[in-house]
A and B are shown apart, each in its own frame.
Chain A
């Protein structure tokens, strides 16, 4: 896995060209794909990509299985929505505040839960997720309880000189908004992963006690990773609430954490491209399989078990193994 992440990043100019094309394509996509429904799916994919990238930071790079990730998504969504709806704040103020609240929550809950090691951390976070879910679902006065919140406004228009403005009423505009944050998330995360702090996280994933014995403050590093991961989960949640206009307690349910887990695992855990691939293709696959209703998730569950067994590093890991195989085919070992 160490080698995998390294070669994924440090590739020649070919890679740069590919990314340039990809960016150009993503920017031009709404001009090619003009349907409202496909564009809606593209916006949703962007939101899932942000959330999955965030999950991969704590799960893939730090090696801690956080089963409350969906809950933090929900906290971000509710915090942003409530700041807009009840406090009358502008979306542009509410979104960073919502993220900050989520991150603060992540920091405070990370302090006790990250003390636990091994299999206690997933249990602790799952319990945390259940506790917060019931709090949101039953706190009628604040969150609207099981009915949820609705009638949330889209982001306020950004004024431009000459009396024009960027309005976010159309799906296309929302797509660009989400795309901007996807790029921002990727930027922050790749900077972090390649920094010294990122190396510390990867060391913890490799062997926590060993990392500690080398003088790494593992608790501090884990808190950093966890807080940042919840910050971006909150960002995804805030964007979701403004885009959808309605919120239900389901947006903080542990099933949501499972879905994000699937995106990361099938895309490729511990890789930069994995959550992006998982967050784009699986929701699309889900939409295609919509007629199957409940069987969609059965299929996803089956896929998850098979991936774990045969492709532990997901699609990205599989592709990587395949390229190595083809490159070295014929050369003597």
Chain B
């Protein structure tokens, strides 16, 4: 379950990485905004869960395009360090914006359905099954979208070689914006899926984005397959570690291991060497 969420967030991040050439630090903040938008439309407009999921994804798609156009695109010509700093600025705006609008309190998200299943002696709520199934379907759909459609091919071409793609007549600016939007929408879907199980709060993106970084580094930056496998591996590892060893130092341990992996093999386990 956790693995599915991580895989989706990491997948969005990896898509955006292909365009920006830098990991987008603000991805976690956008993830949080996605959860809040779904929360808002469900509680105040009373729309059903699935519609809220789609609404939040669509809105975040456009927010992602907006961010790419006005924050990151002007910085392509500058040193990469500046894009990082701009992302930091974006985090401050989004997190404090959410804080100002919704307050620091933890919010409980209404559930899509609360049926409980008993499988092989385990108790599983239907929300968890929804998360897992939706994630798997989306990941497969995304894979076919990138491999089989014209737009998908354009995305792949742009992330492989921006100038080359431009020479082939691809509108790389538009593709860049679309990809950023797509990655952000994925984060919004992941956030809305997991929100009924966990709680939502303005800094909820922090731990998730940290994990997503771990994953795309483990899986190799920009690698589709690596992001999915890494997501499930890390999700499983975290669950096992916190249920059998300790929950207290799990974050310290995971991030500590990551620093070491980075030092030894920065291109990750599945990454191509530059």
Contact = CB atoms under 8 A, between A and B. Distances in A.
Given A123-B217, A127-B255, A112 B85 contact: no
A134 interface: yes
Residues of B contacting A: mostly: helix
Contact of A130 (B80, B92, B251): B251
Nearest to A304: B89
A147 to B, nearest CB: 16
A298 B82 contact: no
B258 interface: yes
Contact of A298 (B71, B92, B253, B266): B92
A131 B206 CA distance: 12
A136 to B, nearest CB: 9
B116 interface: no
Interface string B251-266: 1111110111011001
B271 to A, nearest CB: 11
A131 B262 contact: no
Interface stretch (B33-41, B50-58, B94-102, B156-164): B94-102
Contact of A258 (B82, B88, B214, B255): B88
A122 B100 contact: no
14 contacts: A63-B81, A113-B263, A116-B262, A116-B266, A119-B80, A123-B23, A123-B217, A126-B25, A127-B259, A131-B253, A134-B252, A258-B88, A294-B96, A295-B100
B157 to A, nearest CB: 22
A321 interface: no
B252 A308 contact: no
Contacts of A119: 21-23, 80, 84
Contact of B92 (A65, A258, A309): A258
B258 A127 contact: yes
Nearest to A118: B80
Contacts of A111: 263
Contacts of B217: 120, 123
Q: Determine which residue in A261, A296, A297 has the highest number of CB atoms from chain B within 10 A of its CB, and name it.
A: A297
Contacts of A293: 100
Contacts of A126: 25, 210, 213
B212 to A, nearest CB: 11
Given A113-B259, A127-B255, A301 B82 contact: no
Given A120-B266, A135-B252, A295 B96 contact: yes
Contacts of A298: 92-93, 96-97, 100
Contacts, number: 131
A109 B255 CA distance: 13
Interface of A: 63, 65, 109, 111-113, 115-120, 122-124, 126-128, 130-132, 134-135, 138, 254, 258, 261-262, 265, 293-298, 300-305, 308-309, 312
A308 B84 CA distance: 10
Nearest to B101: A294
A273 to B, nearest CB: 19
B75 interface: yes
A134 B253 CA distance: 10
B90 interface: yes
B91 interface: yes
Nearest to A123: B213
Given A119-B22, A120-B266, A308-B85, A131 B251 contact: yes
A120 B262 contact: yes
B249 interface: yes
A302 B256 contact: no
A138 B25 CA distance: 25
Contact of A305 (B86, B99, B266): B86
Please provide the 3 A-B residue pairs with the shortest distance between their CB atoms, ordered closest to farther.
Answer: A301-B92, A112-B263, A304-B89
Nearest to A136: B252
A283 to B, nearest CB: 15
A112 B260 contact: yes
A309 B74 contact: yes
Contacts of A63: 81
B78 interface: yes
A304 B97 contact: no
Q: Determine which residue in A111, A123, A298 has the highest number of CB atoms from chain B within 10 A of its CB, and name it.
A: A123
